[in-house]
Amino acid sequence: MSNGPYGLIACDCGALSLLVGGSPLALGLDTGDEPVAFWPLAAIQIGQGADELDVSADDEGGDAWGCRRCGERLLYAHDGTGMAILQGHPEDRGDLASGLTLSQQCTLEALGYRVLAGE
Ligand SMILES: [Zn+2]
């Protein structure tokens, strides 16, 4: 659990950090009712620790990005729909981007996420 401020997300040990730009597409809940935010994958860059980035593909067409050293998972990337799913909701919800496409929303629901209606 390291829900830092959006902009920079670091793992527990600090070896890996990601830079997040722009605004989330939408907010939602994961299968355990924990808050998540859906971002454009293009908004995510590796800040430092590219050598420590451990990308493991799953059976759902996505990749979990984690730290090779501490094992913390930082995000879930879904290449097919160009989305990145991050834990937690941003503090500032005032400027959500354009929202999800229908295919993105269907993919998220198939993965077990719930998309929250815009505020
Ligand atoms: Zn780490």
Q: Is the dihedral of CA 103, 37, 22, 99 positive or negative?
A: positive
- The pLDDT value given to residue 3: 44
Q: Are 86 and 19 in contact (CB under 8 A)?
A: no
| Ligand 1 centre distance from Cα of residue 98 (Å) | 32
Name the amino acid, one letter, at 89.
H
- The pLDDT value given to residue 7: 85
Tell me how many degrees the CA angle 68-73-78 measures, rounded to the nearest 5. 110
| Ligand 1 centre distance from Cα of residue 5 (Å) | 17
| Ligand 1 centre distance from Cα of residue 11 (Å) | 5
| Ligand 1 centre distance from Cα of residue 24 (Å) | 24
Query: Encoding tokens for residue 14?
Result: 């600090």
Q: Which residue has the tokens 């354009």?
A: 98
Query: Encoding tokens for residue 94?
Result: 């005032």
- The pLDDT value given to residue 28: 94
| Ligand 1 centre distance from Cα of residue 54 (Å) | 10
DSSP 36-84: EEEEEGGGEEEEE-GGGEEEEE-TTSEEEEEETTT--EEEEEEGGGTEE
Block means of pLDDT (10 residues each) for the chain, length 119 residues? Answer: 63 95 90 94 94 92 95 93 90 67 93 82
- The pLDDT value given to residue 93: 57
DSSP summary character for residue 29 = E
- The pLDDT value given to residue 60: 82
Query: 8-114 — its CATH code?
Result: 2.170.150.70
- The pLDDT value given to residue 117: 74
Give the three-class secondary structure for 90: coil
